[in-house]
A and B are shown apart, each in its own frame.
Chain A
C-alpha cells in the first residue's frame, strides 16, 4: 500500500514569495492533517480536513496561509507571502481509525 505522498521534498524561496505544498493521502483515508515542525520541536497542527471540509483551522495563520482539499482526496497548502519565520518542515498526515500516518514532509527554507 502506498503511503502519504508529498511534494516537493525541498523548497528554497525568498521572503515575500508564494509557495505551495501538495499532499496525496493514503487511499481511503478521509481525514487529512497538515502539521508544521520547527527545528527541535514536535509537529504542530495547522488544519484538519474531514473529506473536503476543513473542520479545524484554528491554528492556521489565515493572513498568509490557505489550504484546500477540493475533491476530498489530495490537498494543497499555500503560503503567500512567505516570511523568514515560515522556514520549517511541513508534514501531511492521513488517518485510519485512531492512527495517523505521515508523509516525508516538505522542507521549506525562506531566505
Chain B
C-alpha cells in the first residue's frame, strides 16, 4: 500500500485559499486519492476523491498531476470552521478489498 507524506501543520487566515499537498510516490495504477477531514471529538468525514487531473465539489478541489505521485487539496476562502485535521489517503486494494491507511494528517489552523 502506498504511503503518503503531508505537512504536519499549516496556518492560514480567514478568507484565504489553502493548499495542502500530499506526496504518494508509490501509488499503484488502481489507487484512488481520497481526502478526509476530522474535527475534534468527531469521526473523519469524506471531503473529496479523485484519480487524475482535477476534481471539484462544493467543498474543495483536488489537483492531481499526470504522474499521480502527489496531489493537492485546495480549500477556497477558508473560515474558522475549517480548522481541523486533513488526511490524505491512497487506497488501496488489499485482497480485493479497500484498505484505508490514515497517516498523521495535516493540522490546519485558521486564524481570524
Chain B associates with chain A: no
User: Which residues of B approach A to under 8 Å, CB–CB?
Assistant: none
